[in-house]
A and B are shown apart, each in its own frame.
Chain A
Amino acid sequence: MKFNLYLLEFALFSLIRKGAKTLFVFLILTFLIFLLASVLFISDAIKHELNVSVAHLPELTLQRLQAGKQVNVPLKRVEPLLEIEGVASVIPRVWGYYYFKVAGVNFSVVGIDAFEQSYKESLQKVVDAYDVKALEKESGMIVGAGVKKILEENYYQDFFNFVTADGKWKRMHIMGSFNADISLQANDMILLPKKSAYEIFGMPENEATDVVVKVSNPEEIPTIVSKINQLYPDMRVVTKEDIRVSYQNIFDYKSGFFLSLFVVSAFTFFMIIYDKLSGLSSEEKREIGILKALGWSMDDILKERFYESFILCFGAFLLALALSMAYVFFWEAPLLRSLFVGYSTLKPSFELPFYFNMPMIVLLFLLSVPVYIGSVMIPSWRAAMLDADEVLR
């Protein structure tokens, strides 16, 4: 297609002549693409964050189900699990939720064995300004940024009194908080010695909440899963792959608010398209007729219409893209953020990592720019096919 500068200028003047209409279409298009791009940026960043987390998980998580409910796993099951060939390690875990009634929030409490030297060293790297060695002897705990904030608001500056299952108070000292880099994972977490976790939850010390299994060779996972199922039929095995797959459809597209948002914006967009497709206004038809009478070929008319629509929607696309990046990553997506963090009082900071998903941007482009251009070109093509006197009549 040969580029004709005069046609471009004509298209530009045509847009300026239509003034208010051009501005309206430009603003609507910008807003729709901005809304879609923002939601997609947020969801992609969350998915990226989740995929990074899931890559470092143990291969298998075993939960014991009794009468359909998850119950504790007896520690005596650890030895037989270790004997299965291919299993590298079996770690019983103690974790659960602690409801802090005063603030109406749930903390995730995780018990750890902080004895081993290598363990302490690696833990030290994710904790700000704190000596992990003190964790065990001083009945200390490490808390997430959200927990620290809530406790400080409730006058717990240095310690927190857990109410144990027996109704007694268990004082734990706040020894440090997690690094800001892991705030999305650790915002509501409390890490404390396993012994204290048993006491707080009122769990017998010969049981664990669940068991994680590390497997050296990923190829052996299906065999190991079937062996575990044979050994303990009441245990549910959640593999890393299961979790990864579940993250692919984390957002509830079926009944989600997310979907309704998408549908509303997409529907509005297609309404505009439909309106355009349903036929040109008599004024536009007259314009085409005059152009044809002046000697313009159909090719010229279509080229002019193409330039006109391309300027409008490509400009809107670029502007929307720039605005949505700023909105999500600089201003932390006000309003839209509430959709993703709910109304829980333990809100994490919404500093999402920047993640640019190129196929998503291409899809967004294809859904907006060519569709709009098509909606302008098709009726123009229909009108341009007619004779000049027929159009003008």
Chain B
Amino acid sequence: MARSTFFLIGFFICLSFFVVVEFWYLYSTRSMTQEAVNKKALFIAHVGLPDLSLVGETRYVRHRSLSDVFSIFGDSPELLEYFPSTFVYHYAPYVSTSAGRVEP
């Protein structure tokens, strides 16, 4: 067997081993623990607001599941786009437009 074939096999074994070890490490240390899930559950039970605080620029993106269609237009008479928030996150479909109609 040529030396480069050994290198190739070694490369694939090392890479696969690295992926497995990385996965195992992340799975065991960074997965959501039951304790964290319980804490989230308690918090959500208290406040009842499920949306994540990743984006706070607009009301309809921050608490998107509980916004109404007019909060989308609330900041101005026209629909304001907040780059990149409103490009990335879609407001809840039940407050959005369907087939060109605006339904609160």
Answer yes or no: do A and B interact.
Answer: yes
Contacts from A to B (Cβ < 8 Å): 5, 8-9, 12-13, 16, 46, 48-50, 52-58, 61, 63, 65, 68-70, 91, 93, 95, 97, 105-106, 108, 110, 112, 119, 122-123, 125-126, 144, 146, 178-179, 181-182, 184-189, 191, 210, 212, 236, 238, 242-243, 245-247, 249-258, 311, 314-315, 318-319, 321-322, 325-326, 329, 338-344, 346, 348, 353-356
A106 touches B59 (CB 8 A): yes
- Bound complex: CA A323 to CA B71 (Å): 40
The closest CB in chain A to the CB of B52 belongs to: A184
A9's partner among B5, B32, B46, B90 (CB-CB below 8 A) is: B5
Is B42 at the interface (CB under 8 A from chain A)? yes
Other 18 A-B pairs with CB < 8 A, given A182-B36, A329-B26, A344-B56 = A49-B32, A54-B50, A55-B41, A61-B48, A122-B45, A125-B38, A179-B39, A181-B40, A182-B39, A238-B66, A242-B94, A247-B65, A252-B87, A252-B88, A325-B22, A343-B84, A344-B85, A356-B23
The closest CB in chain B to the CB of A51 belongs to: B50
Task: Assess A58 versus B48: contact at CB under 8 Å? Given A68-B104, A341-B55.
Answer: yes
B39 touches A95 (CB 8 A): no
Task: Assess A256 versus B87: contact at CB under 8 Å? Given A70-B71, A355-B31.
Answer: yes
- Bound complex: CA A131 to CA B69 (Å): 40
B87 touches A255 (CB 8 A): yes
Task: Assess A52 versus B37: contact at CB under 8 Å? Given A95-B49, A246-B93, A342-B57.
Answer: yes
Task: Return the CB mask of B11-25 against A: 1 if under 8 Å, else 0.
Answer: 110011011001100
- Bound complex: CA A311 to CA B45 (Å): 51
Task: Return the CB mask of B51-76 against A: 1 if under 8 Å, else 0.
Answer: 11111110101111110111100000
Is B35 at the interface (CB under 8 A from chain A)? yes
B18's partner among A46, A55, A322 (CB-CB below 8 A) is: A322
Contacts from B to A (Cβ < 8 Å): 1-2, 4-5, 8, 11-12, 15-16, 18-19, 22-23, 26-27, 29-32, 35-57, 59, 61-66, 68-71, 82-90, 92-94, 104
Task: Assess A57 versus B46: contact at CB under 8 Å? Given A250-B89, A252-B89.
Answer: no
- Bound complex: CA A55 to CA B40 (Å): 10
Task: Assess A112 versus B46: contact at CB under 8 Å? Given A9-B2, A189-B53.
Answer: yes
A357 to chain B, nearest CB (A): 13
B84 to chain A, nearest CB (A): 5
Could you pull out 19 A-B pairs where Cβ atoms are within 8 angstroms? A12-B8, A55-B41, A58-B48, A65-B68, A68-B69, A68-B70, A70-B68, A70-B71, A106-B59, A122-B45, A126-B46, A181-B39, A238-B65, A250-B90, A253-B90, A256-B90, A318-B16, A329-B30, A340-B55
- Bound complex: CA A16 to CA B7 (Å): 12
B15 touches A318 (CB 8 A): yes
The closest CB in chain B to the CB of A181 belongs to: B36
The closest CB in chain A to the CB of B102 belongs to: A68
4 tightest A-B CB contacts, nearest first: A354-B30, A252-B90, A257-B87, A187-B53
Task: Assess A184 versus B57: contact at CB under 8 Å? Given A70-B68, A354-B27.
Answer: no
The closest CB in chain A to the CB of B67 belongs to: A70
- Bound complex: CA A246 to CA B50 (Å): 12
- Bound complex: CA A175 to CA B66 (Å): 28
B55 touches A344 (CB 8 A): yes
B49 touches A318 (CB 8 A): no
Residues of B within 8 A of A69 (CB): 68, 70
A185's partner among B12, B52, B85 (CB-CB below 8 A) is: B52
- Bound complex: CA A342 to CA B31 (Å): 25
Task: Assess A342 versus B32: contact at CB under 8 Å? Given A12-B8, A108-B63, A125-B39.
Answer: no
- Bound complex: CA A319 to CA B17 (Å): 11
B87 touches A63 (CB 8 A): no
- Bound complex: CA A53 to CA B27 (Å): 20
A348 touches B66 (CB 8 A): no
Residues of A within 8 A of B18 (CB): 322
B53 touches A185 (CB 8 A): yes
Residues of A within 8 A of B19 (CB): 318, 321-322, 325
A150 to chain B, nearest CB (A): 11
The closest CB in chain A to the CB of B45 belongs to: A56
A346's partner among B16, B48, B52, B56 (CB-CB below 8 A) is: B56
A249 touches B90 (CB 8 A): yes
B66 to chain A, nearest CB (A): 6
A56 touches B87 (CB 8 A): no
- Bound complex: CA A325 to CA B25 (Å): 11
